[in-house]
Amino acid sequence: MEGALEPAQGPQAQRIGVFLRLRPVARPSGRILASPQDGWVQFDVPKDAVQGLINNSRESYRFPFDGLLPPDAGQGEVFDRVALPVLRAALDGYNGTVFAFGQTGSGKTFTITGGTERYADRGLIPRAISALFAEAAARSGHTYAVHISYLEQIYNESGFDLLEPGREVRALEDLPRVHIQEDDSGAMHMRNLSMHRCDTEEQALNMLFLGDTNRVVAETPLNQASSRSHCVFTLHIEARRAGADALVRRSKLHFVDLAGSERVGKSGLAAHMQLKEAKYINLSLHFLEQVIISLQEGRPHVPYRNSLLTMVLRDSLGGNTRTVMVAAVAPEAQHIEESISTCRFAQRVAMISNKVEVNEELDLEVVIRQLKRENALLRQELALLRSGGADGGSRGDGAAADAAQGGSGLEQRTELTEAEQHVLRRQVQAFVEDPSPDALLGVEPSMLFIQAAFDLLKGMARGAAPGGPVDGPAPARVAAAAGAAAEVELHSLRQVVQRQEQQIKVLSGVLRKQGVGSMGTDANTPSDPTSRPMSSSSTRSSGSGSAAAGWQGLSPQQQAQQQQQVQRPSSSVAAPPPAVPYSDALLADQHKAFEYFCATSPAHDAVAEHKAVLRARYEEARALGSQVSAAKQRISDLKAAMERRRLGRSMAALLRQQQGGGGVEDEAEQQREAAEEERAKAQVEQEKAAYRTSYEQLKAVKADIDGLQAALERNRARLQADFQAWFAAMAAGAAGGGVAAASGSSAGAATAPAAAAGQSQSPPQTAQQQQQQQPSQAAGHEWAIAAARPRSGRSMGRTQQSARAAASPPEAAGLPSFASWKTAGSFHFDQQQAAPPSSGGSPADASGLRAAPAAPAAAVRPLKLALPAVPPSAVSPPSAPAPAAPPPAAESSDPTAGADPEVLAAAKPLLTGNAAADRDIIRFYTARAALLKGMRA
Ligand SMILES: Nc1ncnc2c1ncn2[C@@H]1O[C@H](COP(=O)(O)OP(=O)(O)OP(=O)(O)O)[C@@H](O)[C@H]1O
C-alpha cells in the first residue's frame, strides 16, 4: 500500500455509477435476460399482460448498467466492484455513498448489511469496515480517525439514532429522535445524531451490530422490517499527514439501505410503464424521485428540502460525493413490473453527475493551538528583549506578558530567592511531566531564571531529582543590548503578537459560529454530543488546500484576506436567500418586501411546489373518499336487495302454505333463486374488495398528506426565517448609511447572512438597550407590531428605526408571520388624521387606528399592521373599556407619567428620551393595547 494520499485536485465531474444485482430466486422468469459481460438486462413483456393474455406480440425493455451482478455473484465480488473504489477514495478525502434501491425482498439489506447465517454472507458495511482499518494501517505517514453514526428514518420525517449505547431499547420511541437543521449558511446539520469514535475494526463492528440490533428490536407495525424505513450507516473518516497537523481531510462514506420501492395505485402494467398513476408507498421515495428527476432534467431548483432523506443525501445526489447505486431486483415473473420500474429509476440516476473534490480543511482548533503557542513564545521573547536580556535581572511582578506591555522594575541580582527557586522547580517539574507537545516552560524573562531552569533540566537529564537544589547562581552572560536595533525588533515582535492575537480571536469566532454544529453537524457529518463533532472545528480550504499551508507565512494583507475568506459563508451554499437590495419602498412596507422576497426566494419555490403536490394529493384523497363512500353505498344496497329477495321468498312460501300447497318452491325456481343468491353474494364480495382497495389507498394518501403538511410547515417557517434575516439585513444596510445600497449587488448579498447572524452589520447596542429589548422579545408579536410603527420625523428617522429593527432579533423585527400575512387585515395608522386624544374618545380614535380602506394622503406614510382582520366594532367593545389616552392638556414633561403600566412595559424599549416622540409612542401603545383587548374580547 502506498504511503501517500492522492494529491488534492479541483472539482471533477463524476457520473453516479449504477449496478444491477439480481437476487437468486427459485423460479426465475424466462422473460428476463441478462448479460453480465455486457452489463445489460432485458425484459420481454407481453403487450397485453394486464388481462393476462399471452400472445406473440411482445415489448422489450433493455437497460444498460455500469455493472451487472448475476444471482451467483458472491458478496466479496459485489464489495470489490461496488464499494472498494469508493472506500479507497474516502480514505483519500472524497465523500462516498453507496445506496441500494429496489422493491421489498429484492436483496437490498442482504447487499448493504449482509446475511447473518454465514460469514461469507457479510455485506458491504462489515466488509468496508474491515478494509478501512486494514488500508488505514497500511498507509504509513498518516493518521486516521474513524467515527460512526447510524440513522434510521421511518416514514417521512422521523429520524432515530440507532447507536445509543447503554440504553435499553424496546420501542422506536426509546431511541433519540434526530432532526435536521439548516444553518445560516445553508449547511444541513443533524441534531441529536451521535457519532462514535472507533479505533479498531472490532469496535466499529460492535457499533454496526448495536445499530442493527436496535433496528430490529425497535421495529413497530409502522416500520415493519426494513421495508418501510431507510437506514444510513456512515463512516466519518479523518486523515492527517504526519507533520502537517493543521491540514485535515475529512470524508463521509454513507451506506444507505432504502425502504422498499414498491408502489401503490398501479393501474396495470401499461400505466405503470408510463409511471402515471403509481405512487410510492413511502413518501420520501417520492421526494427522492423528484430530486432525481430535477437533477436529471437539469432544473434550476432541486427540491432537496422536501424530506429528511433527500436532505441527508443532498451531497450524494448532485453534490460533492462519489456515489454508486445498487439496483436490487428479484427476477421473478410476478415482480416484473417493479423490476422494470427499478431499472428505469436507475437509468435516471445514471444520468446525474456529481462534482467531487477532496475535502481538505484547516483544522481551526489546531491552528489556534499553534498560534497560541507561538504567541506565548513571542511574548517571552518580547519580555526578554524588553528587559534588555539583563543578566541576572529578575522581575518580581509576575507575568511575562506584562513585560511585553512595557513593565519594568528589574533588579540587578545574581541569585534566586528560595521562594523563586521553589516556584521554578515546580514549573520545570510540570513541564517535564506534561506529555503535550505544546507544553511550554514559562519562566520569568531573565537570564537568571532561564539559566537556572536549564540547570534544573540538566540535572534531571543526568539523573538528579527536580527537587534538588538549583545550582548556584548563573553568571551573568548577556550584556545589555538595548540599542536602536533591539527597539525595532521589539516593535515588530509586538506587532506580530497583536496580529496573531487578532487571528486567534477571528478563528475562535469562526469556531464558535461553527459551534452550531455542536448540536449537530453537516448533514453528512453528524455530531456526537459526547465526543467532539468532526466538522465543528474546521473551515474548508480553497478546494485544493493550497491556501491552508502557508497561513502563518502570509503578509498582514494576505492574512486579512484569508480571515475574510474564513468568515464568508461557503460559496457552495445551495439556494441562498435573494440578494439584499436597499429600497425605501420595501423598508416602509414589509408586506411589499415580503412579496418581493417571495418572488425571488428559492424557499418560496419549495413552498409553492409543496402546495401544488399537496393540492394534487387532496384531490386524490377527495376522489378516493368518494370511491370509498360509493362502494359502501353499493354494498349496503346490494345487501338490502338480497334481504328483500329472501323476504319475498319466505312470503311466497308462506302464501303457498296458506293456499294449501307445499311450502317448497319447484326445483327450477329453487335453482334460479340459488343462482341469484350466489350472484348477489359475489357482487357484494366484489364491492367489498373495491371498498378495501380504495380505503387502503385513501389511508396511504392521507399519510402522504400528513407528511406533506409537516414539510410544508417547515418550508413556510424557513421562508419566514429567511425573510426575517433578509429584511433585517436590508434594515441594517439602511442603518449603516445604505451599505447595501447597490440594488441586488453582491455587496448587499454579502450583508444578508452576516446581519442574520447578528454580526457587526447590526448597529452596536448598549448594554442598556440590550436589556431593554428582553421584555419586548418575550412579548412576541406585540413587539412585532410596535417595531413596525411609523414615527414622526422629529422623533426618529428611518435610519434609526431600521437600525433598531436590525438590532432586534429576527422574530422581533416587526415582520408578518406567514399565517398573518395570508389573513392580515389592513389597518392604517395615520398620524396627521388622528383625532386629538381625549379621555372621552375611543382608543381607536385617539390613536388614529382605524380599519382600511381609506388610503392616506401622499404625505402620510401608511403602515399595514400584521393583525388578523377584525370588524371595526370589535376595536372598542363596550365590555372592554380601553385604557384612557393621556390628555394632551395635561402633558407633563415626563411622557410616561400616568401611562398604563402594561402599556409602559411594552413601549419602554422604544422610548427615545425625546418627550414629544415618547408621547407619540405611549399614545400608540395605548391605542394598540385597546385594540388587542378588543380583539381578545
Ligand atoms: N444475493 C442473495 N443471495 C442469497 N440470499 C439473498 C440474496 N439477496 C437476498 N437474499 C435473501 O432474500 C431475502 C430478502 O432479502 P433482503 O431482506 O435483503 O431484501 P430487501 O430488499 O432488503 O427487503 P426490505 O425492503 O424488506 O428490506 C433475505 O432472506 C435474504 O437473505
Q: Which atom of ligand 1 lies nearest, measured to the CA of 258?
A: 25
**pLDDT tens across 40-50, in order?**
999 988 766 54
Q: 3-state DSSP call for residue 143?
A: strand
Rounded CA separation 469/718 (Å):
69
**pLDDT tens across 865-920, in order?**
333 333 333 333 333 333 344 444 444 578 888 888 888 887 776 777 777 777 87
Rounded CA separation 347/15 (Å):
12
Regarding whether 93 and 44 lie in a shared domain, the answer is yes
Say whether 108 counts as a known binding-site residue: yes
Cβ of 108 less than 6 Å from ligand 1: yes
Within-domain flag for 680: yes
Rounded CA separation 45/219 (Å):
37
Task: Say whether pLDDT at 301 is over 70.
Answer: yes
Residue position matching grid coordinates 380505503: 695
- The residue among 397 and 110 whose pLDDT is bigger is 110
Say whether 407 counts as a known binding-site residue: no
The predicted pLDDT at position 324 comes to 96
Q: Are 450 and 393 in contact (CB under 8 A)?
A: no
What are the start-end ranges of the H helices in 762-890?
Answer: 767-778, 781-787, 798-807, 818-823, 843-847
The predicted pLDDT at position 341 comes to 92
Cβ of 101 less than 6 Å from ligand 1: no
Task: Say whether pLDDT at 119 is over 50.
Answer: yes
The parent domain of residue 585 ranges over 575-745+755-760
Regarding whether 169 and 73 lie in a shared domain, the answer is yes
Cβ of 261 less than 6 Å from ligand 1: no
Within-domain flag for 495: no
Q: Which atom of ligand 1 lies nearest, measured to the CA of 104?
A: 25
Residue position matching grid coordinates 410616561: 896
- The residue among 681 and 128 whose pLDDT is bigger is 128
Say whether 104 counts as a known binding-site residue: yes
Compute the distance from residue 151 Cα to the ligand 1 centre, in Å. 20
Rounded CA separation 580/585 (Å):
14
Within-domain flag for 505: no
Regarding whether 773 and 724 lie in a shared domain, the answer is no
Cβ of 229 less than 6 Å from ligand 1: no
Within-domain flag for 390: no
Regarding whether 675 and 797 lie in a shared domain, the answer is no
Regarding whether 814 and 714 lie in a shared domain, the answer is no
Cβ of 23 less than 6 Å from ligand 1: yes
Task: Say whether pLDDT at 615 is over 90.
Answer: no
Atom 30 in ligand 1: residue holding the nearest Cα: 110
Regarding whether 827 and 704 lie in a shared domain, the answer is no
Cβ of 70 less than 6 Å from ligand 1: no
Cβ of 227 less than 6 Å from ligand 1: yes
Cβ of 223 less than 6 Å from ligand 1: no
Within-domain flag for 138: yes
In this structure, are strands 322-329 and 538-540 parallel, antiparallel, or unpaired? unpaired
Q: Grid coordinates representing 451?
A: 539559566
Compute the distance from residue 330 Cα to the ligand 1 centre, in Å. 9
- The residue among 435 and 834 whose pLDDT is bigger is 435
- What's 715's domain CATH number? 1.10.287
Within-domain flag for 426: no
Regarding whether 832 and 793 lie in a shared domain, the answer is yes
Say whether 600 counts as a known binding-site residue: no
Rounded CA separation 229/108 (Å):
12
Find the largest Cα–Cα distance for the chain.
Answer: 147
Q: 3-state DSSP call for residue 28?
A: strand
- What's 161's domain CATH number? 3.40.850.10
Regarding whether 294 and 250 lie in a shared domain, the answer is yes
Instruction: Determine phi and psi for 629, rounding to 5 degrees.
Output: -65, -40
Indicate the pLDDT class of residue 853, thresholds 50, 70 and 90: very low
Q: Grid coordinates representing 349?
A: 440516476
Average pLDDT over residues 801-815: 35
Average pLDDT over residues 522-533: 36
Say whether 557 counts as a known binding-site residue: no
Rounded CA separation 505/497 (Å):
12
Say whether 107 counts as a known binding-site residue: yes
Most confident range, picked from 481-485, 634-638, 776-780: 634-638
CA 601 from centre of chain: 18
Compute the distance from residue 109 Cα to the ligand 1 centre, in Å. 6
Cβ of 107 less than 6 Å from ligand 1: yes
Of the candidates 339, 360, 381, which is a domain's last residue? 360
Q: How many domains does the chain have?
A: 3
Compute the distance from residue 89 Cα to the ligand 1 centre, in Å. 28
Atom 8 in ligand 1: residue holding the nearest Cα: 107
* Bridge partners (DSSP) listed for residue 849: 829
Cβ of 110 less than 6 Å from ligand 1: yes
Instruction: Determine phi and psi for 277, rounding to 5 degrees.
Output: -95, -20
Say whether 513 counts as a known binding-site residue: no
Of the candidates 760, 783, 812, which is a domain's last residue? 760
Q: Are 923 and 886 in contact (CB under 8 A)?
A: yes
The predicted pLDDT at position 159 comes to 87
The mean pLDDT value of the chain amounts to 69
Rounded CA separation 301/135 (Å):
39
The predicted pLDDT at position 667 comes to 80
**pLDDT tens across 473-496, in order?**
444 433 443 455 566 666 777 777
Cβ of 509 less than 6 Å from ligand 1: no
Most confident range, picked from 362-376, 414-428, 549-563: 414-428
Task: Say whether pLDDT at 927 is over 60.
Answer: yes
Cβ of 109 less than 6 Å from ligand 1: yes
Say whether 864 counts as a known binding-site residue: no
Of 343, 335, 340, 261, the C-alpha closest to 25 is: 335
Within-domain flag for 395: no
**pLDDT tens across 331-350, in order?**
999 899 899 999 999 999 99
Most confident range, picked from 53-57, 369-373, 732-736: 369-373
Most confident range, picked from 177-186, 471-480, 725-734, 837-846: 177-186
Dihedral sign for Cα 656, 661, 663, 667, please.
negative
Task: Say whether pLDDT at 689 is over 90.
Answer: no
Of the candidates 326, 360, 394, which is a domain's last residue? 360
Residue 190 belongs to what H/E stretch?
Answer: strand 188-191
Cβ of 104 less than 6 Å from ligand 1: yes
Regarding whether 820 and 924 lie in a shared domain, the answer is yes
Regarding whether 666 and 770 lie in a shared domain, the answer is no
Rounded CA separation 248/271 (Å):
52
Compute the distance from residue 104 Cα to the ligand 1 centre, in Å. 8
Q: Are 505 and 567 in contact (CB under 8 A)?
A: no
896-929 CB burial, b ≥16 within 10 A, e <16: beebbeebbebbbbbbbeebebbbbbbbbbbbbb
Regarding whether 197 and 49 lie in a shared domain, the answer is yes
The predicted pLDDT at position 132 comes to 97
Residue of 110, 124, 263 to mutate, ligand 1, most atoms within 8 A of C-beta: 110
Task: Say whether pLDDT at 528 is over 60.
Answer: no
SS3 content of the chain, % helix, strand, coil (to 5): 50, 15, 35
Compute the distance from residue 667 Cα to the ligand 1 centre, in Å. 57
Cβ of 106 less than 6 Å from ligand 1: yes
Residue 651's Cβ-count burial label (10 Å; 0-12, 13-18, 19+) is exposed
Regarding whether 290 and 172 lie in a shared domain, the answer is yes
**pLDDT tens across 620-635, in order?**
888 888 888 888 888 8
Residue position matching grid coordinates 523563586: 420
Within-domain flag for 183: yes
Most confident range, picked from 117-121, 467-471, 651-655: 117-121
